[in-house]
Amino acid sequence: MSMPTPPEATLEQAERFRDDYRRIREQVTRVIVGQNTVVDGALTALFVGGHVLLEGVPGLGKTLLVRTLAEAMSLSFSRIQFTPDLMPADITGTTIVVEGQDEAGRTVRDFQFRKGPIFSQIVLADEINRATPKTQSAMLEAMQERSVTVSGGAGGTYTMDRPFLVMATQNPIEQEGTYPLPEAQLDRFLFKLEVGFVSRGELHEIIDRTTGSVEATVESVLDAETIIGHQQLVRSVIAAPNVRDYAVRAVLATHPESEYTTKMVRQFVRFGASPRAAQALILAGKARALLDGRVHLAIEDIRGVLAESLRHRVLLNFEGQAEGVTPDMVIGDLTESLPAEAAGVPGGA
């Protein structure tokens, strides 16, 4: 039995989406100086229901961005500081034995599951690459399935409240005592956003805001129901077959053996992006279309999110690493080489 098709988005709904996006962005930028690309990427992920990996050196406001985003919405928030001794149960929760009495006064024991910090609507996974792979893997089911399966006395599956957003941070420079994220976990992130250093003027503004007597305040402007409604609206944006095919060809082009690939990919890439990358391109592109006041997806919308969607899904080979090639360089070359149209579009165009 096929699922019902969601109603198409309207221009009026698109305008409400833009207004709410502006409202929450205004609250975030009261605290966060610069980093406009990172702020927009985080908000896009929120409105399409995806997770974000923030990479940057310490002190650039990654943690502050997540906290501010949570304050600007009426959503539950938790922070998990990842360390080498963190255990999976510290994230997902643990089963405890609770003693009580029955009607006859006899002592009875029962197993109860006590939820961990992952059961929040916005979760900050701070320095996620400092935890062991075993602990990192505890995030996989929650991020993909929006649920946690518990074994033992309590058993059962516990679902997360919607919306559910994981924003993880990692430091790309200090590698001592860290564990690289496995490809399976990286693939769960909709975007990887690189947090760069601020400009001279922005640094002056940061000093004024953080060392002066006036502290910036953030108001809560959106609730969970509104956000979920916008997430559904994003999915109803029209994507023509030729536009979907561009996203598909972009993902296939990251594979060295593909007919759509480039010389640079063949030379420097070991593995390309997964089908989740195509999903990320389409969903993020639809959000960009709504922000532009359109209810149909365009190829330019896809091009606008290629780097954020693919950079953590393109794995370089040894030669690429030795030559100092970056995934962004590969994606940039791919973007310039990939034609907008191609013959034989499945579904017609």
Grade residue 348 by pLDDT with cuts at 50, 70 and 90.
Answer: low
Return the pLDDT at 3: 43
110 token code pair:
């029962």
User: SS3 for 308?
Assistant: helix
Grade residue 9 by pLDDT with cuts at 50, 70 and 90.
Answer: low
The CATH architecture to which 1-85+117-236 belongs is 3-Layer(aba) Sandwich (3.40)
Instruction: Yes or no: say if 105 and 153 are a contact pair by the CB < 8 Å rule.
Output: no
Return the pLDDT at 1: 39
Return the pLDDT at 347: 60
Chain centroid, CA 36 distance in Å: 16
Name the pairing type of β-strands 222-223 and 73-74: parallel
d(CA 33, CA 153): 48
Name the pairing type of β-strands 269-271 and 315-316: antiparallel
The larger pLDDT score, comparing residue 213 to residue 38, is at 38
Amino acid identity, position 283: L
Mean pLDDT, range 221-248, rounded to an integer: 92
Instruction: Yes or no: say if 191 and 50 are a contact pair by the CB < 8 Å rule.
Output: yes
Return the pLDDT at 341: 76
For the cut 90, the answer to whether the pLDDT of residue 184 exceeds it is no
The larger pLDDT score, comparing residue 290 to residue 114, is at 290
CATH number for 238-344 (one of 1.10.8.80, 1.20.5.510, 3.90.440.10, 1.10.10.1400): it is 1.10.8.80
348 token code pair:
């017609």
Instruction: Yes or no: say if 111 and 95 are a contact pair by the CB < 8 Å rule.
Output: yes
Return the pLDDT at 288: 94
Return the pLDDT at 155: 65
DSSP code, position 32:
-
For the cut 50, the answer to whether the pLDDT of residue 349 exceeds it is no
Mean pLDDT, range 21-32, rounded to an integer: 87
Name the pairing type of β-strands 107-115 and 93-101: antiparallel
Amino acid identity, position 248: V
Return the pLDDT at 201: 83
Mean pLDDT, range 218-228, rounded to an integer: 88
d(CA 227, CA 73): 9
For the cut 90, the answer to whether the pLDDT of residue 309 exceeds it is yes
Return the pLDDT at 39: 87
For the cut 90, the answer to whether the pLDDT of residue 172 exceeds it is no
Region of poorest pLDDT, from 43-52, 53-62, 118-127, 244-253 = 53-62
CA atoms within 13 Å, Cβ hemisphere of 286? 23
d(CA 295, CA 65): 29
148-155 contacts at long range (C-beta below 8 A, 24 or more positions apart): 148/92, 148/93, 148/118, 148/119, 150/92, 150/93, 150/95, 150/113, 152/95, 152/111, 153/95, 153/97, 153/111, 154/95, 154/111, 154/112, 154/113
Mean pLDDT, range 96-111, rounded to an integer: 75
In 10 A of CB 182, how many CB atoms?
12
Tell the burial category of 306 from Cβ atoms under 10 Å away from its Cβ (0-12, 13-18, 19+): buried
- For the chain, the structural domain boundaries read 1-85+117-236, 238-344
Instruction: Yes or no: say if 109 and 99 are a contact pair by the CB < 8 Å rule.
Output: yes
329 token code pair:
């360089």
Amino acid identity, position 176: E
For the cut 60, the answer to whether the pLDDT of residue 6 exceeds it is no
The larger pLDDT score, comparing residue 288 to residue 148, is at 288
Grade residue 194 by pLDDT with cuts at 50, 70 and 90.
Answer: confident
pLDDT digits (tens, 9 = 90+) for 120-147: 999 999 888 888 888 888 888 888 888 8
Return the pLDDT at 247: 94
DSSP string for 197-237: ---HHHHHHHHHHHHSSPPP-----EEHHHHHHHHHHHHTS
d(CA 89, CA 327): 34
The gap between the terminal CA atoms of the chain, to the nearest Å, is: 26
